Amino acid sequence: MDLRTRALAALITPDPADKVAQVLTLQASASQLGLDCESTLVPAASLPGRPAKPELIAATDVPHRSPFTPLGLAALLHAICHIEFNAINLALDAVWRFPVMPEAYYRDWLRVAAEEAYHFSLLRDHLAELGFAYGDFAAHDGLWEMCEKTQGDITARMALVPRTLEARGLDATPQIQAKLRKVGTPHALQTVAELDIILRDEVGHVAVGNHWYRWLCERDGLDPVAHYATLLTQHSAPRLKAPINVAARRAAGFTEIELGLLGQS
């Protein structure tokens, strides 16, 4: 099986530990595997593969818990762990779904999938230290929903998943870290350190999204700024909430014009 076929197999795999193992093996052997950039693949099962738990509920029904209690801290870790599980699936989906991209596109997204697998494992292991497992809290499915909405348009996918939803993570992480520093317990501070690793890697993921979004716009003769506004409306993407992490977004390749526009929306 070539790299894209194996990415699809990992995406279909429901068990998180099995999925993580497949992604890490795939990334480690990527340079020796064939890469078929041309084929249109068809999934043999519904996507994504995921375990029976967590139960998926509407984002508005997710209970708001304070991280100042042990249960609330575990719920916060679980919510981020769920984001990372979805992020593995999103990156794998970018690899298998869209044909006729340059080889570097597929290799970039496989590397992202491997980093998401690492983030997921980090938080799952921390949850276990607190006596919880992935699946113990209900979660929402907003990330995968955007993945489905953009499955027919790779430019929309790059615009709205990495450079909108993942980029929101860049904005939100320092605020979560500030709150956890106030909590101040060893587990809260351990979470701050884990979020440092995640934030560092996420700048790279948003940069990959920016790179391929611009590449696609150039290929198709689209203006990246104007087309982004069109895609936001077309797919009812969530609007930004202030404050914006300008330094992280700049490091991830947003232009000064884009940063200026983000501040106004």
| Residue 12 lies near Fe ion (rule: CB under 5 A) | no
d(CA 112, CA 65): 30
From 58-66, 78-86, 100-108, 150-158, span contacting Fe ion (CB under 5 A)? 78-86
Its sign, for the CA torsion 188, 81, 122, 167, is negative
108 binds Fe ion (CB under 5 A): no
Name the residue nearer to Fe ion (CB basis): 1 or 21.
21
**Segment near Fe ion (CB under 5 A); pick from 77-85, 137-145, 187-195, 211-219:** 77-85
Residue 87 interacts with Fe ion (CB under 5 A): yes or no: yes
Q: Which is nearer to Fe ion, 3 or 80 (CB)?
A: 80
Contact between 157 and Fe ion by CB under 5 A: the answer reads no
**Letter string b/e over residues 192-223, b meaning 16 or more CB atoms within 10 A of that residue's CB:** bebbeebbeebbebbbbbbbbbbbbbeeeebe
- The nearest distance, CB 57 to Fe ion, in angstroms, is 22
Q: What's the half-sphere exposure (Cβ side, CA atoms, 13 Å) at 56?
A: 12
Among residues 124 and 205, whose Cβ is nearest to Fe ion?
Answer: 205
Looking only at Cα atoms, what is the longest distance across the chain? 53
Collapse the DSSP code of 149 into the 3-class scheme (helix H, G, I; strand E, B; otherwise coil) and give the result. helix
Q: In terms of Cα–Cα distance, which of 15, 171, 188, 1 is closest to 88? A: 15
167 vs 218, beta carbon nearer Fe ion = 167
Site map for Fe ion, 112-131, x if CB under 5 A?
Answer: ----x--x------------
**Helix-helix angle 186-220:167-183, to 10 degrees:** 170
Residues that bind Fe ion (CB under 5 A): 84, 87, 116, 119, 166, 202, 205
